[in-house]
Structure formats: C-alpha cells, structure tokens
C-alpha cells in the first residue's frame, strides 16, 4: 500500500514538473513516467561524442552527424550505416523535437558505399531554447528507429 502511494505521489510530482516553464528537462520527466509505467524510455544519445546505434528488425542502424560539434543552423551531413540487408527503397530521416511539431524537415539519404547512406540537412534553432532533437530514421518496408540527441546553439 505504501509503495503504491509513493509511486502515485512521484507521478504527481513529475506531472507538476512537466507544467513548469522550460527551465526543467521535460524529456527526462517524461522518460521517468514512461519507465514507471513499464514503457521503454527513449535513450538520449551523445551525438557530440560519436555515432548512435540501435537495432531494427535484425539489423544494426548507426546514425552519425558531421561535423562535430553538431550545431543548429549549420549545414550538416547525416550518415546512416546499416549492417544486414539493404533497404529496397531509399532511406530517409525526419528531424523534429520530442513533443513539439516543428514542421517537415526531411533529410533524403543516398547510397554512398556498401550499407552507408548520406544526406545533408539543417537542424533549426528552436525559439523555446530547447536543444533536444529527434532523428527518425525510416527504412521503407523495414521500419523506423528514433535517436534523441542535443545540439549546440
């Protein structure tokens, strides 16, 4: 009984934090709620240090963004490396912010060598000051993986 009361209290505190101004880390609070409810919390990658890797349908999908440091409002190269089968159609990346509609921002990828795809794009500066971005890599007819990371303003 006490455990249930504590968990309910924690959820209430986290929900209150979500309603505060942008001085708090909203993504961390949402992740904590999702983890408590048994959902997989999204992994926050340090793209500034190197590539990010996830599994998808028996494949390994690795995302890297160049040049480093990864900054908003700069021309960036997005590189996706796959291990396993090649997608039937061209892969692409949709850039956005978690929980916020930023409008369409797609990076079309082209095959540059075996299992390595590249495309160019720009991460815009969000007026809210938030720096956490989401890159959704779509492999048509295979699926999607999401990568969360912070950019520098």
Span 90-128, pLDDT tens digits: 899 999 999 888 889 999 999 999 899 999 999 999 888
- Contact at 8 Å (CB) between 54 and 61? yes
Q: Note whether 79 and 144 are same-domain residues.
A: yes
Top pLDDT among 87 and 136 is at 136
Q: Say what the pLDDT of residue 84 is.
A: 82
Q: Note whether 78 and 11 are same-domain residues.
A: no
Q: Note whether 56 and 27 are same-domain residues.
A: no
User: How many domains does the chain fold into?
Assistant: 2
Q: Note whether 10 and 76 are same-domain residues.
A: no
Q: Say what the pLDDT of residue 28 is.
A: 46
Q: Note whether 51 and 89 are same-domain residues.
A: yes
Q: Say what the pLDDT of residue 1 is.
A: 54
Q: Cα dihedral sign for 151, 45, 83, 144?
A: negative
Average pLDDT, the chain: 80
Q: Note whether 84 and 144 are same-domain residues.
A: yes
pLDDT tens per residue, range 30-39: 444 444 444 4
Instruction: Give rounded-to-5 percent helix, strand, coil for the chain.
Output: 20, 40, 40
Quote the CA–CA distance of 54 and 80 in Å, as a whole number. Answer: 11
If you average pLDDT over residues 39-65, what whole number do you get?
88
Closest CA to 98 of 54, 32, 42, 18: 42
If you average pLDDT over residues 56-78, what whole number do you get?
96
Q: Say what the pLDDT of residue 43 is.
A: 75
Q: Residue 66 is part of a domain; what is its CATH number?
A: 2.60.40.1930
The confidence band for 41, taking pLDDT boundaries of 50, 70 and 90, is low
SS3 for 93?
strand
Q: What range does the domain containing 129 cover?
A: 44-150
pTM: predicted TM-score of the whole model, two decimal places: 0.72
Q: Say what the pLDDT of residue 30 is.
A: 44
């Amino acid at each position: 009984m006490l455990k249930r009361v504590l968990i309910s209290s924690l959820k209430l505190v986290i929900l209150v934090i979500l309603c505060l101004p942008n001085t708090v880390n909203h993504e961390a609070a949402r992740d904590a709620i999702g983890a408590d409810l048994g959902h997989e919390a999204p992994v926050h990658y340090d793209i500034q240090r190197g590539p990010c890797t996830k599994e998808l349908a028996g494949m390994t999908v690795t995302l890297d963004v160049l040049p480093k440091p990864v900054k908003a409002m700069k021309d960036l190269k997005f590189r996706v490396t796959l291990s396993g089968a090649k997608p039937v159609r061209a892969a692409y990346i949709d850039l956005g912010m978690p929980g916020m509609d930023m409008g369409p921002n797609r990076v079309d990828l082209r095959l540059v060598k075996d299992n390595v795809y590249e495309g160019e794009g720009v991460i815009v500066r969000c007026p809210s000051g938030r720096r956490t971005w989401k890159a959704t890599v779509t492999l048509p007819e295979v699926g999607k993986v999401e990568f969360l990371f912070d950019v520098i303003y």
